[in-house]
Amino acid sequence: MNTLHLEYEWMKKTMPEGFPYPSSTLISGEGGTGKPLVVYAFVASWLKAGGSAISLSLQYSTNDFMRTSMDRIYGIDLDDYAKNMVYIQLTPSIDGYEITGENTINANLIKPDVWNASIDKAVKLTGKSEIGVLVFGAALNLLLFSPTYKEGIIKNLEDILKNDKRRTYILSVSTSAFADDIKIWENVADNLMFTRMEKPMKLFFKITKMEEVEFSKDEIEVPVSQKALKEIKEIAESSRNKILPEIMNV
């Protein structure tokens, strides 16, 4: 098992031996608890280490929020890593996937076969990396609102989190709905982490299991401003209200 050097002090305190890869990580917690900002911290460390990354945008219609957050909070300008990044945008209105640019793909990620095929294609578009490819995304739970593909999504993601060691996965999920279904993913992920929010807008992070490395089980506050936390909550709520009706019709 390889380990990734982590860039930020709060991550070093909880993962003193580093982050194991290739592995699957699920960051779980109620809605509005800042999970994407934790995901972005891992992405920042991965990119700085020379890794390639694939972004799955499920709840945001553009990459603007991610770009801004990565820059403001973690000092990462994604334009500097353009050759190592591919962006996949959830697009429920199409049947499969479409390449829309050198590093952009629109895909109906609700369909398990399209999820798999679009990621396989994105891997081919990324630059070569000694540490491999990181697949990351937030709000995985939104896909479960599809009446047609819900069970297929659960099984596909269960298999990926449990068995796919070709890539490293860092995904977040809200437990505000489908908590029992999400337990399936929590049980099979190599690494399981939780976030919670405490008034006035304080983000807390805790690890409950990790693959083959020592870690701290102590809960720690993530040094993110109240402004950033408020902004992510507002954008997430607005985006969710737009995308949910489309997902529920697939």
| pLDDT tens digits, one per residue of 112-138 | 999 999 999 999 999 889 899 999 999
* 57 three-class SS: strand
Q: What is the mean pLDDT of residues 190-194?
A: 98
2-248 falls under which CATH superfamily? P-loop containing nucleotide triphosphate hydrolases (3.40.50.300)
CB 47 within 8 A of CB 193: no
At 12-65, the pLDDT tens digits run 999 999 999 999 999 999 988 889 999 999 999 999 999 999 999 998 777 888
SS (H, E, C) 152-205: HHHHHHHHHHHHCCCCEEEEEEECCCCHHHHHHHHHHCCEEEEEEEECCCEEEE
Q: Could you give the CA distance from residue 156 to residue 144 in angstroms, rounded to a whole number?
A: 12
pLDDT tens-digit profile of 137-162?
Answer: 999 999 999 999 999 999 999 999 99
